[in-house]
Chains A and B, each alone.
Chain A
Amino acid sequence: MKALPLLAALALAAPAQAQFNLRDLNVNRLVETVKNVGKATREPTQEEEIALGRDVAARLVGAAPLVADARAQRYVNHVGRWLASQTERADLPWKFGVLEAPQINAFAVPGGTVFITRGLLEKMGSEAELAGVLGHEIAHVLRKHHLKAIQKGALASLSGDVAGAALTNVNSEARHKLVAFGTEMYSRGLDKGDELEADRLGVVIAARAGYDAYGLPSVLQTLQAMNAADSAVALMFKTHPAPGERLDQLGKKMQPTLDAYSDQAQLQQRFLAETKASR
């Protein structure tokens, strides 16, 4: 179902493919399709992941620019980079940005770019809370959740050759469509399991970096108290499991970790000082 918009958008890219018409299916074509699927499932290299993420990030900052507050932007980069340093992908070119948007949301882009909105920043009260949210987004990058979803979408509609070209030829028509699809994915959301996994890993990453592990649950408590019909949270609620369910899952699976690292740093004062011009 998720692949439908992409199917429509990319129908032109694969005019010769007739896999949707069973009567046209013959053995030769089937063999060809299987070969192509094999090519398309090739894991993108780290360079390809970073380049694809950069194209998606360019569109996201095209949709909403960065908040004009250099101090807050540098601050969020310091917190985020410190968190990323505690992970198995510390060598990615990590970049963090606060987007000028009142909606409450955050976005992880393949290759190590993470955005949060001004609307979400305004709902937080400490560096530990910011770390919990950034940790969740970093986890999406670590586990390549968006990259895999983009690949899956491309696979469903592009032939293997075209999907391969979209990765290697950055000026191709297929590339533009892939990047547009990758950007629109933030309107559709990931699988629920990916979000819940990112919550669990986000708690661990924040704890590793020395923060109060309850930062992320604390933000989820704040979001849970908001009206789901509020236009500020509508997209975030549509693309994520309900905050109450996320809290239940963290309680079930992460209570020992949460409690073992609950007395670590919160750093409210530093957070409020560094972000005050954006709040």
Chain B
Amino acid sequence: MKLLLAVLFLPLLAWAEPATTIRAAELKKEPAIDAETLIELPENTAVDAAERKGGWVRVKARGSEGWLKMLSLRYGNPASAKKGDTGISQMFNVARTGSSGTQVTTGVRGLDEKELANAQPNASELAKLDKFAADADGAARFAANGKLGAKTVDYPK
């Protein structure tokens, strides 16, 4: 029951993500480089991470709460093992078939080295792939619906 509740409320646990600084970093009051620095965190400081905003992540560390540069953080707690196997091989003993969505037992399925080595062409799935394709105009309308505007950004040198 405890586990069930934990799973149900997982999205609400804002501070659930343990993370560690990979370099010395300034904990800022606001997610901005010119914001006030609350404390200096040395490398390898354990923090509790919450939401991301741009290149910043809200964290609690050493009794303070503020913002750290996202790329100075790595998620997971190095002191404890990372989460284990997701158990997909067992789960996929009952595989979904792509065409009907019905549940059938087909043995272990998925996309790993064995499946890639033994892959045979599937013309009907390929036809579906064609059917779902979008054209440039449709994509532009979709972008406008999401208020996405195209920018000019150069590739790195």
CA distance A226 to B75 in the complex (A): 9
Query: A81–B55 contact, CB under 8 A?
Result: no
The answer to whether the Cβ of A173 comes within 8 Å of any Cβ in the partner chain is no
CA distance A95 to B127 in the complex (A): 11
Contacts A64-B111, A218-B52, A225-B75 known; A81 to B138 CB distance under 8 Å? yes
User: A279: shortest Cβ distance to chain B, in Å?
Assistant: 13
The answer to whether the Cβ of A270 comes within 8 Å of any Cβ in the partner chain is yes
Query: A100–B133 contact, CB under 8 A?
Result: no
The answer to whether the Cβ of A111 comes within 8 Å of any Cβ in the partner chain is no
Stretch of B1-9, B40-48, B98-106 contacting A (4+ beta carbons < 8 Å)? B98-106
CA distance A97 to B125 in the complex (A): 10
Q: What does the 1/0 interface line of A111-144 toward B look like (CB < 8 Å)?
A: 0010001010000000100000000000000000
CA distance A80 to B84 in the complex (A): 32
A62, A119, A222: the one contacting B88 at CB < 8 Å is A119
Contacts A59-B119, A214-B54 known; A224 to B74 CB distance under 8 Å? yes
Stretch of A18-26, A40-48, A161-169, A202-210 contacting B (4+ beta carbons < 8 Å)? A202-210
A55, A85, A90, A262: the one contacting B121 at CB < 8 Å is A55
User: B149: shortest Cβ distance to chain A, in Å?
Assistant: 5
A79, A208, A250, A267: the one contacting B150 at CB < 8 Å is A208
Contacts A102-B92, A265-B148 known; A222 to B75 CB distance under 8 Å? yes
Query: B142–A82 contact, CB under 8 A?
Result: yes
CA distance A187 to B97 in the complex (A): 23
Query: B82–A227 contact, CB under 8 A?
Result: yes
User: A65: shortest Cβ distance to chain B, in Å?
Assistant: 3
Number of chain B residues close to chain A: CB under 8 A: 67
Query: A227–B84 contact, CB under 8 A?
Result: yes
Contacts A127-B146, A200-B156 known; A61 to B129 CB distance under 8 Å? yes
The answer to whether the Cβ of A38 comes within 8 Å of any Cβ in the partner chain is no
Neighbouring A residues of B126 by C-beta, 8 Å: 54, 57-58, 61
CA distance A250 to B85 in the complex (A): 28
Number of A-B pairs, beta carbon distance below 8 Å: 225
Number of chain A residues close to chain B: CB under 8 A: 86
A119, A221, A263: the one contacting B54 at CB < 8 Å is A263
Query: B71–A262 contact, CB under 8 A?
Result: no
The answer to whether the Cβ of B134 comes within 8 Å of any Cβ in the partner chain is yes
User: A52: shortest Cβ distance to chain B, in Å?
Assistant: 13
User: A46: shortest Cβ distance to chain B, in Å?
Assistant: 17
Neighbouring B residues of A97 by C-beta, 8 Å: 129, 132
User: A105: shortest Cβ distance to chain B, in Å?
Assistant: 7
Most buried by A among B84, B98, B109, B120: B98
Query: A77–B132 contact, CB under 8 A?
Result: yes
Mostly, the A contact residues are: helix
Query: B128–A232 contact, CB under 8 A?
Result: no
In the complex, residue of chain B having the shortest beta-carbon distance to the beta carbon of A230: B85
The answer to whether the Cβ of A37 comes within 8 Å of any Cβ in the partner chain is no
The answer to whether the Cβ of B113 comes within 8 Å of any Cβ in the partner chain is yes
B71, B143, B156: the one contacting A251 at CB < 8 Å is B71
In the complex, residue of chain A having the shortest beta-carbon distance to the beta carbon of B85: A230
Neighbouring B residues of A255 by C-beta, 8 Å: 71
Neighbouring B residues of A80 by C-beta, 8 Å: 134
Query: B85–A270 contact, CB under 8 A?
Result: no
Q: What does the 1/0 interface line of A135-158 toward B look like (CB < 8 Å)?
A: 000000000000000000000000
Neighbouring A residues of B119 by C-beta, 8 Å: 59-60, 62-63, 180, 183
Neighbouring A residues of B151 by C-beta, 8 Å: 207-210, 261
CA distance A211 to B54 in the complex (A): 11
Most buried by A among B71, B91, B128: B71
Q: Give 28 A-B contacts (CB < 8 Å), ordered by A residue.
A: A60-B111, A62-B125, A63-B118, A64-B110, A64-B115, A65-B99, A66-B125, A66-B128, A68-B98, A70-B132, A73-B132, A77-B132, A78-B142, A78-B143, A82-B140, A85-B139, A101-B111, A208-B150, A210-B143, A210-B151, A226-B82, A227-B84, A229-B85, A230-B83, A254-B156, A259-B55, A265-B147, A265-B148
